[in-house]
Amino acid sequence: MKVFTSRHGRLLFGILILLVMLAIYFSVHPRGVSIRVVESLSNAGASLAFAAVAQTFPVLTGGLDLSIGGMIALTNSLASVVLTGSPLQIAFGFVLVIATGCLCGLVNGTLIVYGRLQPVIATLATGAIFSGLALIVRPRPGGDIPIELGDVFVTSAFDVLPMALVVLAVTCGAVWYPLTRSRLGRGIFAAGSAPEAGRMSGLNVDRSIIAAYVLSGLFASFAGLFLGFQTLAGDATIGVPYTINSIAAVVIGGVALRGGAGHILSAIVGAYTLRSINSILLFSGAPPLAQPFFEGVILVVAVVFASLGLMRQPNRLEALR
């Protein structure tokens, strides 16, 4: 038990904070605890949750993906164009959007591994390219995503379970479970923890790094799709806040930015924590103009908390990793 808490300490702490936030949220919300309220919060946070999950994989390898906003914009714009027509066309559209996300991720991964570029700068540049492409696909916001399709994802199954959460759980579980039980996944952690040791152990660390960025693209495409279902349209500028917020969510949820350690749940927890804080501020009557300020405060507090552990370290040399 002790080992479990030490290994997942940050995640558990993040969950605790989330529960506290949720408690406050439901008490502050005018309609209290009800299915519709749960559903609307689930929907409000789902796209950020997907974005945060996307960010998790590159962060685990010790890198960062600053093109997530661009990938979301591109996949969202693309979705608004191809998700119309007959069911067959829509199915094909799905595949196209997801494949695009993965391809973007592949480009990132290849530049970083074979091009030997630093993740921060490589994804900064590709992010600009993806955003530009999004603008070409969707110069002005619009689109024809059928409302029936959108409804599937923003409502609740059996009127109790928000589909957003179901889709999140299924996609994340389907990826995380096999990943943590494969050498590819072990390689992702090794890349962030001790890449040389990973190679000496026979892991193909390069392949794992590329896989991490492809997964990032995959989940970015899910975010883009979900945004499409919510708004029934595409908007090439929609991705802008997601890059920064995905990093904030990941940090708040407890994933270490240095890499090597973290859990996919942390991303989801962090995303919903951020969203509920947003909503709490909205409903509690805080001046709307103060909202961005409080968002900043929360990020600062989260970082301070995460860093406090390092401060208490008696060996000051160890704090300089």
Partner 1 sequence: MTASLDTTRTPRRIQPHLGAEARPVIIVFGALAAMVLLNLVLFPERMGVDYVMQQLRIAAFLGILSAGAMFVLLTGHIDLSVPWTLTAAAMVGAGVHAAFEGTPMAALAIPAALFTGLLAGLWNGIGVAYLRAPSMVWTMGLNALLLGLAVFYSGGYNPQTAASPLMREMAVARLPGGFPVATAIWIAVSVLAVVILYRTPLGAWIYALGRNERVVYLAGIRNRAVIVFVFVWAGLCSALAGVMLAGFSGQAYQAMGDTYLLPTIAAVVLGGTRVTGGSGRYSGTVGGVLVLVLLGSMLSLVQAPEAFRQIAYGLVILTMLLVAREGRST
Partner 2 sequence: MKDMAAVTADRLGLHGVGKSYGATVALTDIDLTLPSGTIHAILGENGAGKSTLVKILSGLVPPDQGEVAIDGVTVGIASAADALRLGVATVFQELSLIPDLSVAENIMMGAAPRNSFGLIDRRGEARQARAWLDRLGLRDIDPAERVLALSLAQRQLLEVAKALATRPKVLILDEATSALGSEQVATLFALLRELRAEGASILFISHRMHEIDQIADACTVLRDGRHVETFAAGSRSHHEICSLLAGRDLAQVFPPKRAGRTGEKVMSVRDLACAPRVRDVTFDLHRGEILGIGGLEGQGQHDLMLALYGVIRRAGGSIALGDGPARIQAPSDAVNAAHRVALLPEDRKVDGLLLSEPVSRNIVLSVMQKLTRFGIRQASVERDLSARMIERLRIKVVEGGEMLVGKLSGGNQQKVLLARLLALEPSILLLVDPTRGIDVGTKQEIYALIRELAEAGASIVFLSSDYEELVGLCDRVLVVYGGEVAAELEGEEITDQRIIQAAMNIGTEGARAS
In the complex, the residues that contact partner 1 under the rule CB under 8 A are: 64, 111, 115-118, 120-122, 124-129, 131-136, 139, 244, 247-248, 251, 257-258, 287, 289-297, 299-300, 303-304, 306-307, 310-311, 316-317, 319-320
The item of partner 2, partner 1, none sharing an interface with residue 178, based on CB under 5 to 8 Å by kind, is partner 2
State the pairing for strand pair 156-157/161-162: antiparallel
The span from the CA of 242 to the CA of 249, in Å, is: 10
Spatial distance between the Cα atoms of 126 and 68, rounded to a whole number of angstroms: 10
Q: Which does 294 bind (CB under 5 to 8 A by kind): partner 1, partner 2, none?
A: partner 1
Q: Tell me the number of residues near partner 2 by CB under 8 A.
A: 29
From 34, 89, 182, 284, residue interacting with partner 2 (rule: CB under 8 A)? 182
310 binds partner 2 (CB under 8 A): no
Dihedral angle over CA of 181, 264, 90, 88, nearest 10: 20
Q: Is 193 in the site for partner 2 (CB under 8 A)?
A: yes
Report the nearest approach of partner 1 to the CB of residue 175 (Å). 25
According to DSSP, the residues that pair with 142 across neighbouring strands are: 234
Q: Which of 178, 292, 296, 309 binds partner 2 (CB under 8 A)?
A: 178
Nearer to partner 2, 132 or 183 (CB): 183
SS3 label, residue 156:
strand
C-alpha to C-alpha distances, 80 to 85, 89, 125, 145, 165, nearest whole angstrom: 12, 13, 24, 6, 22
- Residues 254-283, interacting with partner 2 (CB under 8 A): 260-261
CA end-to-end distance (rounded Å), the chain: 28
Stretch that binds partner 2, among 114-122, 244-252, 266-274, 308-316 (CB under 8 A): 308-316
Tokens of 167: 């889709």
Nearer to partner 1, 97 or 122 (CB): 122
Beta-ladder partners of 161: 157
Does 308 bind partner 2 (CB under 8 A)? Our answer is no
Q: Give the chain's length.
A: 321
Contact 71, 130 (CB under 8 A): yes
Query: Cα separation of 258 and 177, whole Å?
Result: 23
Report the chain's C-alpha Rg in angstroms: 20
- Using CA of residue 73, residue 164, residue 11, residue 62, what is the dihedral sign? negative
Select from partner 1, partner 2, none the partner in contact with residue 297, using the beta carbon and a kind-dependent cut-off of 5 to 8 Å.
Answer: partner 1
64 binds, among partner 1, partner 2, none (CB under 5 to 8 A by kind): partner 1
Compare residues 20 and 310 and give the one whose CB is closer to partner 1: 310
Residue with tokens 């994802």: 153
Q: What is the DSSP letter of 290?
A: G
Q: With respect to partner 2, which residue has the nearer C-beta, 118 or 182? A: 182
The residue within the footprint of partner 2, chosen from 6, 87, 287, 308 (CB under 8 A), is 6
Chain contacts with partner 2 (rule: CB under 8 A): 3-4, 6-7, 177-178, 181-183, 186, 189-190, 192-194, 197-204, 260-261, 314-317
